[in-house]
Structure 1
């Protein structure tokens, strides 16, 4: 499977880099299309029954965003007038927000992620978001902040009543997208710090969920795990939620510190909205600390999973968890091999 996916993953990175580094909006559009056309085959290689449905949904949404983007680019070249540029830049920003799954164009992300494998979910929450988010800063900065705050609100509120883990992670991704855009507004360096931290934390959580075959929150109550393994999941989820003094709190603290002189009301809203994701992360943790005597009919996970897994994977989980908690080094690109 790795051999089949490696060329597509490579072209995904190349397309994203072309889009980010290009000085021409037309070359940027080509890079985004290369990235899209490389990700679609990865989605279809999944053997799940609903993966074709997710692929079609994702393709249609991205096609609409790409059409709107190229139309805006052609419009800016054909009818260049200062009075029209704000409207054109708003159209371009909207197309990029749609492609990244940020609010108010977030509606497709939970339904698409629900039908994907955990590997594809990780790609969708990380690599596929970077290029569109990075490009928005070159357009309307005010729209960037508005969308960032809206994404935090949608991600925080939308995840409160979710019981499906993939939808929960989708709303978590929407919330983190808002923080990414805010960090990009502050500085490029802070954006890289936030993205690296988010990729590493997400990698550990996705590895755990993928190998547990976890689809529903209640499945956690039927898993027989050692206290150490429960602690690994607990610490990684809390770190992803930004609980101090864990690693996930560091980039959020830096964003708040950099904005503290100008945007006090924005910071207040960001702090309030950052508390809500902690609630649904804690909802994931609660089944780990309770013993369930009932067997859920949707549970397809072997209760002895952690006792029977091989040494290599056990060692990988411990190392990535340690790095997620302490922030030793961002190695998500290296460890992604094991996820495939």
Structure 2
């Protein structure tokens, strides 16, 4: 792709998210979402491959439907109240429509079917953008409208997303699909706590973004697209293999790693709100996610691919370095001790 074109597309992608995040008018928020969607379509389809074209088409149709629902719900609200302010209370019908639209944009269950298929048709770098940057605008709208959304709907979607995110990832062998179901499960946790404490939701989003960026940087550097590809990661860089082990365990939410912090705080808040059954279901479903994280861990770091004693490492051993990876590893692994500071 032409460098000028790439620059314009990436600038539009960033501008769309910033417009949505900084607007208090429904129409401007909708314009930002549309800019964001139209900018990511060429990035997804630039491979000139049928799978990429299919992924771009599915993404466009889903996001266009969600944006239309957002515009429709805001028009209903403006028709009845005469205001386009995002923070103003909305009626129940408009609130349910808006919640469903944001769930579709984020890929929450039961509107999650498009997400793994789109990610499987893209490159790993594009998948990283879809996992992280493309989630910021809908999460900002949830943050701004948390008092107007339906708590029972979000709790139901969050619980269902954590269950489906765990069940769906068990049968997958493609790393992008595994991470897609991981994303569905993580955003289920955020949706469940969004109507109670938004600061925990933002903390979860921050930690999830750092953990996903760390793991995807590793996948990009090692060109690992399947579980089978990850079995030879140790031959490229033993240090990166150890880092991958800890990152996967952090994504699974095991203490004393950073990924344990948001799940701990969310479960604590759910119990405080007398939602013990919901907290139990979500904690049990996280075990399903932990299973496929441990399977990735086992194949990546605890097994050794067939080799002879003369070919312990690849013939040309290249030193793999990444500024992004070295920047993201410490917060991905070591943020648990500063939990009280972050919650003040």
Q: Under TM normalisation by the shorter chain, which class is it?
A: 0.7 to 0.9
Superposed displacement of residue 161, structure 1: 0.9
Distance in 2 between the 1:316 and 1:286 partners?
25
SS state at 2:183 partner: helix
Number of the residue aligned with 1:336: none
Contact 1:154/1:175 (<8 A) preserved: yes
Residue 251 and residue 3 in structure 1: after superposition, are their counterparts in 2 closer, same or farther (change >3 A)? farther
Q: What are the residue-to-residue correspondences of 1:1-340 with 2, within 5 Å?
A: 4-46=5-47, 50-78=51-79, 85-136=91-142, 137=146, 138-223=148-233, 224-225=235-236, 227-262=238-273, 263-288=275-300, 289-293=302-306, 304=314, 307-310=317-320, 312-313=321-322, 317-327=325-335
Superposed displacement of residue 125, structure 1: 1.2
Residue 306 and residue 27 in structure 1: after superposition, are their counterparts in 2 closer, same or farther (change >3 A)? farther
Superposed displacement of residue 27, structure 1: 1.9
Superposed displacement of residue 319, structure 1: 4.6
Distance in 2 between the 1:87 and 1:15 partners?
27
Structure 1 unpaired stretches of 5+: 295-302, 329-340
TM value normalised by structure 1: 0.84
Superposed displacement of residue 4, structure 1: 4.7
Distance in 1 between the 2:79 and 2:330 partners?
54
Residue 20 and residue 320 in structure 1: after superposition, are their counterparts in 2 closer, same or farther (change >3 A)? closer
Q: How many residues align?
A: 316
Distance in 2 between the 1:42 and 1:305 partners?
35
Distance in 2 between the 1:35 and 1:122 partners?
15
Distance in 2 between the 1:16 and 1:306 partners?
42
Superposed displacement of residue 32, structure 1: 1.0
Residue by residue over 1:170-210, the C-alpha shift from the partner in whole angstroms, topping out at 9 and shown as x without a partner, is 00000011112234223232222111111111111001111
Residue 304 and residue 50 in structure 1: after superposition, are their counterparts in 2 closer, same or farther (change >3 A)? farther
TM value normalised by structure 2: 0.83
Residue by residue over 1:83-132, the C-alpha shift from the partner in whole angstroms, topping out at 9 and shown as x without a partner, is x9322321222122111111110000000000111121111111212222
Contact 1:133/1:181 (<8 A) preserved: no
Residue 109 and residue 306 in structure 1: after superposition, are their counterparts in 2 closer, same or farther (change >3 A)? farther
Structure 2 unpaired stretches of 5+: 83-89, 308-312, 337-344
SS state at 2:263 partner: helix
Residue 49 and residue 188 in structure 1: after superposition, are their counterparts in 2 closer, same or farther (change >3 A)? same
Superposed displacement of residue 155, structure 1: 0.4
Contact 1:232/1:318 (<8 A) preserved: no
Number of the residue aligned with 1:298: none
Superposed displacement of residue 144, structure 1: 1.4
Superposed displacement of residue 160, structure 1: 0.9
Contact 2:222/2:236 (<8 A) preserved: no
